[in-house]
């Protein structure tokens, strides 16, 4: 199948598919005599795997090292290892998010709970002091959380562009 067909099947853009090939992520591709790429049906499967893995928080780099050339022969140990680590990353992230959320909720309450006899400036000072009281000792999260975040991000941002820049025509 040609690249357009593969794009239709997988819902990816042709540019993305070519990009994956360029970075060595998608190797099941041949060329016809005219230079056109041609893919086996399996390619759609592989692209599906890539997208799924990405959604689970893997970087394309991680995916590349994990994806075997032959879908029948995975490196089970490496795979399990990566999966386990990724789960731990998610858990750390969940903890961090819970903290952030709690912090924000506290802040909201704090702002609303202004004593009736206090003016805005004084209230601002009070809230401000409370906000900055947070010892910030709780930021020690592993960089793997970061990877996960990074990954999850881009993929979604494509889905709906609210901050699209308008280029002058």
Partner DNA sequence: TCTAACGTTAAAGGTAACTTCAAGGTCAAG
Partner DNA sequence: CTTGACCTTGAAGTTACCTTTAACGTTAGA
**Which positions touch a copy of itself (CB under 8 A)?**
45, 48-49, 51-52, 55-57, 71-74, 76, 79-80, 83-84, 86-87, 90-91, 93-94, 96-98, 100-101, 103-105, 107-108, 111-112, 120-121, 124-125, 128, 131-132, 134, 136, 139-143, 145-146, 149-150, 152-153, 156-157, 159-163
First-to-last CA distance in the chain? 36
CA distances from 44 to 27, 67, 98, 138, 152 (A): 12, 14, 37, 43, 21
Angle formed by the axes of helices 42-55 and 3-10, to 10°?
50
Which residues in 33-92 contact DNA (CB under 7 A)?
33-37, 54, 59-61
Distance CA 152, CA 144 (A): 12
Q: Give residues 149-168 in contact with DNA (rule: CB under 7 A).
A: 150-151, 154-155, 158, 163, 165, 167
State the CB neighbour count (10 A cutoff) for residue 39: 21
| E-state strands within 28-148 | 30-31, 37-38
Min CB(4)–DNA separation in Å: 3
| Closest separation in Å from C-beta 127 to DNA | 23
Q: CA-to-CA distance for 167 and 148, rounded, in angstroms? A: 31
State the binding partner of 47 from DNA, a copy of itself, none, CB within 5 to 8 A by kind.
none
What residue ranges bind DNA (CB under 7 A)? 2-5, 7, 13-16, 18-19, 32-37, 54, 59-61, 150-151, 154-155, 158, 163, 165, 167
């Amino acid at each position: 199948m040609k690249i357009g067909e593969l794009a239709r099947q997988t819902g990816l853009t042709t540019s993305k598919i070519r990009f994956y090939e360029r970075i060595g992520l998608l190797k099941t591709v041949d060329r016809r005599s005219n230079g056109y790429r041609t893919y086996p049906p399996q390619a759609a499967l592989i692209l599906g795997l890539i997208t799924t893995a990405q959604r689970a928080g893997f970087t394309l780099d991680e995916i590349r090292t994990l994806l075997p050339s032959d879908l029948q022969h995975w490196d089970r140990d490496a795979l399990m290892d990566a999966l386990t680590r990724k789960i731990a990353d998610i858990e750390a992230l969940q903890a961090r998010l819970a903290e952030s959320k709690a912090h924000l909720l506290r802040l909201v309450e704090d702002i609303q709970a202004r004593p009736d006899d206090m003016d805005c400036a004084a209230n601002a000072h009070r809230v401000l002091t409370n906000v900055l009281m947070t010892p910030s000792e709780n930021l020690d999260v592993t960089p793997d959380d970061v990877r996960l975040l990074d990954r999850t991000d881009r993929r979604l941002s494509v889905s709906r562009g609210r901050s699209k820049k308008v280029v002058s025509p």
